[in-house]
Structure 1
Amino acid sequence: MSSPFIRPYNAAHDFSAAIHIFNQTAHSAIQFEPALTIGSHIYCRPYLLLCPSTCLVLDSGTGQAVGYIIGTVSTAEFVKQYQEEFIPGLDPRAVPRPTDEEGKSPDDVVVTEMKKAAYDPEGALLHRGTPQLLERYPAHLHIDILPEYQRRGFGMQMIEQFVETLKMHGARGVHLGLVATNTGARRFYERLGFRVFDEVMDGGRSGEVGREGDSLYMTKEL
């Protein structure tokens, strides 16, 4: 069997594997239905469908994708495409629109916020209150790798290749968001040259730069 390697995403063979990877690696806060399915329609499926040329997968060596790095050169253009091409194709049975009658349990609140994000990519991605983020770092990414392939150096290799792909497409900067309390992930990205975004994003409520709610935003010039 060949060793794992990184290759371009192949829509004909990798789509289902990518959804499986997302489901297996999604944050514990959304590891229940319908949050998990809605999450895949926010953080995974649109990138595979709208910008496959900037998506890479980690191949196990047998043709099976066991990790991916997905993203876009221009967040603003991605949002426009999402609105024009992705939202019209959303199945309301899988991703219902939010209503005023949503419940108030913790799970209901999570699902309601995700429904809003699925139908309002501007609010989730454009950071209107901090326009400097997209002006300086217009690209963004998501990376997920199945647990058995983590901590083996593949994540670093995937990000390095993804950055080179962004450069070839003319991007001058990239950003990503992570759970603010995930110090391990922060150190990982710092080793790759990412730094916490140096602007206040939440009006000073957190007392931290780069902080917006539970998320911390990191950036890298290309």
Structure 2
Amino acid sequence: MEIRGFADGDRAALRELFVRAGADSPTESLWGHPESEAAVYLEPYLDLEPESLFVAESRGTLVGYLTGCVDSSAFPSESERMDQAIRRYRPMFRRRSAAFFARSLADVAGAAIRRAPMAGDFRGDRWPSHLHINVAPEARGIGAADRLMARWFERLTEAGSPGCHLQTLVENGRAVRFFERMGFTSHGPEPLVPGLRYRGARVHQRTMVRDT
């Protein structure tokens, strides 16, 4: 297996991997429209910070990738990227996605009544960098994720970043355990993620941080 930097010729394979890498996990999909979801969690990294994107390749096939940003304050926030993707693709009018947006409205209204916090962006000078990592099911347990993270930590050291954060789900126990093994610790509250469900239940955002 080879860990290498992103090349422009990887785009098509990365889009395909984006769809299948989260299979059977709580983060497999947001609203059920991969094209607009990739416009939030993949495409901006290819275009705006390709030097912070690394891929795992096995026998000529991409089996994992890590997208990152060294300085989150200089990168569009997740909320901004999501708003742009929704305006562009209008997934709320698609049959597969409509239920997500209906639940989102109900969750937001309920949280407002209870004055409960909702999932959102993280900003912190101590941990300015952030990442997303995805590994295909067939490549789990053979070191692909570990090696991608090791290359990312090298990138942070080279760039002089003081620390990194990520956001996952409390209910994604496999991911949480992996990030803990990579040196991340939980930070802050664990608010509801509006609209998202896993096996019929609500899910909650977990922010995790790590000093470089």
TM (norm. structure 2) is: 0.73
Question: Structure 1 residue 187 and structure 2 residue 177: aligned?
Answer: yes
TM alignment of 1:93-108, pairs within 5 A:
95-96=89-90, 107-108=97-98
* Equivalent position of 2:162 in the other structure: 172
Distance 1:201 1:58 in 2: 31
* Equivalent position of 2:6 in the other structure: 9
Q: CA deviation at 1:124?
A: 7.6
Q: Which has the higher contact order (CA 8 A, sep 6+)?
A: 2
TM (norm. structure 1) is: 0.70
Question: Structure 1 residue 19 and structure 2 residue 12: aligned?
Answer: no
Unaligned runs of 5+ in 2: 105-117, 192-202
The structure that is strand-richer by fraction is 2
Structure-2 change in CA distance of 1:97 and 1:91 (3 Å)? closer
Structure-2 change in CA distance of 1:96 and 1:219 (3 Å)? same
Distance 2:134 2:161 in 1: 22
Identity %: 25
Distance 2:129 2:34 in 1: 25
Instruction: Tell me the secondary structure at the aligned position of residue 75 of structure 2.
Output: helix
Q: CA deviation at 1:171?
A: 1.2
Unaligned runs of 5+ in 1: 114-122, 128-132, 203-212
* Equivalent position amino acid for 1:221 in 2: D
* Equivalent position of 1:209 in the other structure: none
Whether contact under 8 Å (1:79, 1:125) holds in the other structure is no
Instruction: Tell me the secondary structure at the aligned position of residue 220 of structure 1.
Output: strand
Q: CA deviation at 1:187?
A: 1.5
What is the alpha-carbon root mean square deviation over aligned residues? 3.4
Residue 136 (structure 1) aligned to one of 122, 126, 129: 126
Structure-2 change in CA distance of 1:91 and 1:125 (3 Å)? closer
Question: Structure 1 residue 154 and structure 2 residue 139: aligned?
Answer: no
* Equivalent position of 2:67 in the other structure: 70
Distance 2:62 2:121 in 1: 30
* Equivalent position amino acid for 1:190 in 2: E
Instruction: Tell me the secondary structure at the aligned position of residue 193 of structure 1.
Output: coil
Distance 1:161 1:59 in 2: 14
Aligned length in residues:
185
Q: CA deviation at 1:110?
A: 2.2
Residue 54 (structure 1) aligned to one of 44, 52, 56: 52
Instruction: Tell me the secondary structure at the aligned position of residue 141 of structure 1.
Output: strand
* Equivalent position of 2:186 in the other structure: 196
Distance 2:54 2:127 in 1: 20
Structure-2 change in CA distance of 1:34 and 1:192 (3 Å)? closer
Q: CA deviation at 1:9?
A: 0.5
Whether contact under 8 Å (2:32, 2:96) holds in the other structure is no
Whether contact under 8 Å (1:72, 1:141) holds in the other structure is yes
- Greater mean alpha carbon deviation, residues 34-43 or residues 67-76: 34-43
